[in-house]
C-alpha cells in the first residue's frame, strides 16, 4: 500500500469509529461528554481561522457564541421560527459584528488585540445581563431563556435522545475541518499565514493583510455563532454566564494553544485531551475542588509552551508520519 | 520608456526632513544605484516609492501614473516589488511556501503558484533547499530568498534594499551575477547598496543623496570622482588631491 492509500484507510477507520460510537456507547452521560468534546473541537477549529492562521489572539469569541445562542433562542421562543433559520441569521449577525470589531482592532499588535477582544466579550455579557427587553425582543437579562421542550424533531433542532445531537455536531465538526483544510491550501490561507508572521513583507508581496484578516474574522465569527445556536438547542437553557462567559473564550484559546495553533488537527487533539479533564474533574471533584480543571489546564499549558511551543500536534503528527512511512515501506 | 519618475519628493518625520526634494528617473531596463552615507534617507525614499509611507510632498509616478498614497499591495499588482534591508522571511515556513506567497499575487490557483515558485527558486539556485524552513537559512540565502519572493510577483521594477550587506566577497560576486540576470530578463532594477565594488560594477547610473538631498548623479565613474560625494563620505576636512 502506498502512503496516500494508508492515509485514506486511516481516515476511513477514524470516521467509522466516530460514526459507530453511539451504537456501542449507550450511556447518555458519555454521549453528552462527547457532544461537548466535538462542540469544543468545532469552536476551536473556527477560532483557529483567526487565532491560528492570522496570527492574532482573539479572546472574545464567546460573544459570537452568545449572539448565535440568543438569536436562535429568542426567535424560536417568541416567534416560533425554526432554530435552523435562527442559526444562520445568528451567524450573519455575528459575522457583521466580527467585521465591526476587526476593523479597529486588527491594527493593534499582540497583547493589545487580545485585551481589546476580552473587553468586547465582557462588555457584551454585561450588556445582556442588564437588558431585559431589546425593542420587541425579550432577552430576559441575567435570568436567561428557557426553551420549552415541546415539538421535538429535526425541524426544531430538538431531540429527546442524545444521538441526533451527536451526529449533528459531528457533521458540523467534519465540515469545519474540511473547510479549514481547503483554506489552508488556498491563497487566503497562504496570505493569512504570511500576514500573521511578517505583515510588512506580506504587504509588499501583494497581500492586503487587513482585508484577509477581516475575511477570516467574518468566517470565524459566523461559524462560532452556529455552534452557539446548536448549544442552546442542546442544553435548552441559556443565560449570559453560560454562553457569553470569559471562561468559554479562554477555554477555546487553551485548547488551541495546547493542541497546536494554526494546524488543522491541533484543535481536535486539544479538545480530546482537555475536555475529558474538565468533565471528569467536574464529576469527581466538583464538590470538593471546583475549578480544578482550570489548574490542570494552566499546568498543561505551561508545560506545553515550554517543551512543545507548536502544541501537541507537533510530536503526534511526526509519530503518525513515521508510522505511515514504516507501514508503506514494509515488505508485503 | 520611463518606468519611474520621482519629482521633488519630501518625507518629514516630526522635525526631521528625511527626504528633502529628491528628483530621480529610471528608464526601463536600466540598473540605477542609490548611495549615500548612513541616515541619508535612502530607505525612506524606497519606502515612499513602494507605498509604505505616503510622501509629505512631491510626486511618485510609476509608468506615468501618479502613485502617491497607493498601498504596497496595489503597487505590487502593478509590477513594483521590493526587498527589505532587514530581511523578513516567513520564518516558520518552507522556502517554497515563502515564494508561493509572492506567486499568488498573479494567480489564485495553487498549482500555478507552485510552478512559478519552483521556477524562481531554480533560477536563484535555491531549488535544493526548497523544503527547508526559512528560519534555518544563512544570511546569504535569506537575502536570496527575499529576491526570490519579490521575483515571484513578476515585477517590472525591483527595488533592492542592501541585498549584499553582510555577505562574504564570494557571495557578493554571486549576487552581482544574479542581479545581472534580472536585467537580462527585462526587469528594471533600482538598488541601494553600500558595497562600492558591487554598485560600481552593476549600475548604469548612480544617484548620491546626503541629508535627504541629491548631491550628485551620473555614471559610476563620474560619481566616484565628484568632490561633493567624497566629502559627504569622508568629511569636509578631507582634502581631495
pLDDT on residue A284: 85
Report pLDDT digits (tens) over B99-145.
999 999 999 999 999 999 999 999 999 999 999 999 999 999 999 99
Residue A94 phi, psi dihedral angles, 5° rounding: -60, -40
- Residue B56 to residue A277: CA distance in whole angstroms: 58
Report pLDDT digits (tens) over A166-185.
999 999 999 999 999 999 99
On whether any CB of chain A is under 8 Å from the CB of B102, the answer is: yes
Pick A204's closest partner by Cβ from B81, B93, B113: B81
- Residue B199 to residue B190: CA distance in whole angstroms: 11
Residue B39 region, left (φ>0) first, then alpha (ψ -120 to 50), else beta?
left
pLDDT on residue A211: 94
User: In which element (H, E) is residue A189 found?
Assistant: helix A187-197
By percentage, how much of chain A surpasses pLDDT 70? 99
Residue B90 phi, psi dihedral angles, 5° rounding: -80, 90
Contact A98, A217 (CB under 8 A): yes
- Residue B124 to residue B151: CA distance in whole angstroms: 10
Q: Based on the number of CB atoms within 10 Å of its own CB, is B10 exposed (0-12), middle (13-18) or buried (19 or more)? A: middle
B101 contacts on A by Cβ (under 8 Å): 190-191, 193-194, 202, 205, 207
Report pLDDT digits (tens) over A141-153.
899 999 998 888 8
- Residue A173 to residue A279: CA distance in whole angstroms: 20
pLDDT on residue A171: 97
Residue A332 CB contacts under 8 Å (≥ 6 apart), including other chains: none
Q: Given a cut of 80, is residue B234 above it in pLDDT?
A: no
Residue A115 CB contacts under 8 Å (≥ 6 apart), including other chains: none
Q: How many C-beta atoms lie closer than 10 Å to residue B184's C-beta?
A: 8
Report pLDDT digits (tens) over A235-274.
999 999 999 999 899 999 999 999 998 899 999 999 998 8
B95 contacts on A by Cβ (under 8 Å): none
How many separate domains does chain A show? 1
Report pLDDT digits (tens) over B142-197.
999 999 999 999 999 999 999 998 889 999 999 999 999 999 999 999 999 988 88
pLDDT band per the 50, 70, 90 thresholds, residue B238:
low
Full set of structural domains in chain B with CATH: 2-86+157-234 (3.40.50.300)
Using DSSP's 3-state secondary structure scheme, residue A185 falls into: coil
pLDDT on residue A110: 80
Buried b (16+ CB within 10 A) or exposed e, B126-143: beebbeebbeebeebbbb
The ipTM, to two decimals, is 0.91
Question: Looking at chain B from residue 182 to 221, which residues have their Cβ under 8 Å from any Cβ of chain A?
Answer: none
This model's pTM is above 0.80: yes
Pick A207's closest partner by Cβ from B73, B88, B97: B73
Contact B142, B83 (CB under 8 A): no
Domain of A321 in residue numbering reads as 3-329
Amino acid at each position: 500500500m502506498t502512503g496516500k492509500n494508508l492515509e485514506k484507510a486511516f481516515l476511513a477507520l477514524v470516521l467509522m469509529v466516530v460514526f459507530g460510537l453511539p451504537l456501542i456507547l449507550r450511556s447518555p452521560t458519555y454521549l453528552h461528554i462527547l457532544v461537548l468534546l466535538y462542540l469544543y473541537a468545532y469552536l476551536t477549529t473556527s477560532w483557529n481561522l483567526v487565532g491560528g492562521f492570522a496570527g492574532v489572539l482573539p479572546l472574545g469569541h464567546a460573544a459570537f457564541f452568545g449572539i448565535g445562542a440568543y438569536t436562535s433562542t429568542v426567535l424560536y421562543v417568541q416567534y416560533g421560527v425554526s432554530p435552523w433559520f435562527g442559526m444562520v441569521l445568528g451567524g450573519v449577525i455575528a459575522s457583521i459584528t466580527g467585521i465591526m470589531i476587526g476593523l479597529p482592532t486588527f491594527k493593534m499588535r499582540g497583547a493589545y488585540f487580545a485585551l481589546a477582544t476580552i473587553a468586547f466579550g465582557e462588555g457584551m455579557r454585561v450588556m445582556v445581563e442588564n437588558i431585559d427587553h431589546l425593542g420587541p425582543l425579550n432577552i430576559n437579562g441575567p435570568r436567561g431563556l428557557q426553551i420549552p421542550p415541546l415539538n421535538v424533531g429535526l425541524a426544531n433542532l430538538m431531540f429527546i435522545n442524545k444521538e441526533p445531537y451527536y451526529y449533528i455536531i459531528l457533521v458540523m465538526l467534519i465540515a469545519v475541518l474540511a473547510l479549514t483544510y481547503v483554506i489552508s491550501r488556498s491563497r487566503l490561507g497562504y496570505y493569512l499565514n504570511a500576514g500573521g508572521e511578517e505583515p510588512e513583507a506580506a504587504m509588499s508581496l501583494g497581500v492586503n493583510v487587513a482585508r484577509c484578516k477581516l475575511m477570516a474574522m467574518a468566517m470565524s465569527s459566523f461559524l462560532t455563532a452556529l455552534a452557539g445556536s446548536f448549544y442552546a438547542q442542546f442544553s435548552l437553557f441559556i443565560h449570559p454566564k453560560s454562553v457569553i462567559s470569559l471562561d468559554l473564550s479562554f477555554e477555546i484559546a487553551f485548547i488551541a494553544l495546547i493542541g497546536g495553533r494554526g494546524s488543522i488537527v491541533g484543535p481536535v487533539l486539544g479538545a480530546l485531551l482537555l475536555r475529558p479533564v474538565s468533565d471528569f474533574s467536574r464529576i469527581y471533584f466538583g464538590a470538593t475542588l471546583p475549578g480544578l480543571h482550570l489548574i490542570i489546564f494552566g499546568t498543561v499549558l505551561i508545560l506545553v509552551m515550554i517543551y512543545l511551543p507548536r502544541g501537541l500536534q507537533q510530536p503526534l503528527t511526526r509519530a503518525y508520519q513515521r508510522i505511515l512511512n514504516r507501514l508503506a515501506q514494509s515488505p508485503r | 520608456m520611463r518606468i519611474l519618475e520621482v519629482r521633488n519628493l519630501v518625507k518629514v518625520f516630526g522635525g526631521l526632513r528625511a527626504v528633502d526634494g529628491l528628483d530621480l528617473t529610471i528608464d526601463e531596463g536600466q540598473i540605477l544605484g542609490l548611495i549615500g552615507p548612513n541616515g541619508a534617507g535612502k530607505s525612506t525614499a524606497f519606502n515612499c516609492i513602494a507605498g509604505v509611507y505616503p510622501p509629505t510632498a512631491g510626486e511618485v509616478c510609476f509608468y506615468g501614473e501618479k502613485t502617491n498614497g497607493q498601498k504596497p499591495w496595489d503597487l505590487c499588482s502593478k509590477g513594483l516589488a521590493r526587498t527589505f534591508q532587514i530581511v523578513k522571511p516567513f520564518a516558520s515556513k518552507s522556502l517554497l511556501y515563502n515564494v508561493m506567497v509572492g506567486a499568488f499575487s498573479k494567480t489564485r490557483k495553487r498549482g500555478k503558484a507552485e510552478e512559478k515558485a519552483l521556477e524562481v527558486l531554480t533560477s536563484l539556485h535555491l531549488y535544493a533547499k526548497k523544503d527547508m524552513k526559512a528560519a534555518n537559512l544563512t544570511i546569504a540565502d535569506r537575502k536570496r530568498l527575499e529576491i526570490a519572493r519579490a521575483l515571484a510577483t513578476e515585477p517590472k521594477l525591483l527595488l533592492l534594499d542592501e541585498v549584499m550587506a553582510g555577505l562574504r566577497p564570494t557571495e557578493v560576486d554571486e549576487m552581482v551575477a544574479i542581479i545581472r540576470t534580472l536585467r537580462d530578463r527585462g526587469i528594471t532594477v533600482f538598488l541601494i547598496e553600500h558595497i562600492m565594488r558591487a554598485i560600481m560594477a552593476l549600475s548604469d547610473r548612480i544617484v548620491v543623496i546626503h541629508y535627504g538631498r541629491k548631491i550628485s548623479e551620473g555614471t559610476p565613474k563620474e560619481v566616484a570622482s565628484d568632490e561633493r560625494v567624497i566629502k559627504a563620505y569622508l568629511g569636509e576636512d578631507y582634502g581631495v588631491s
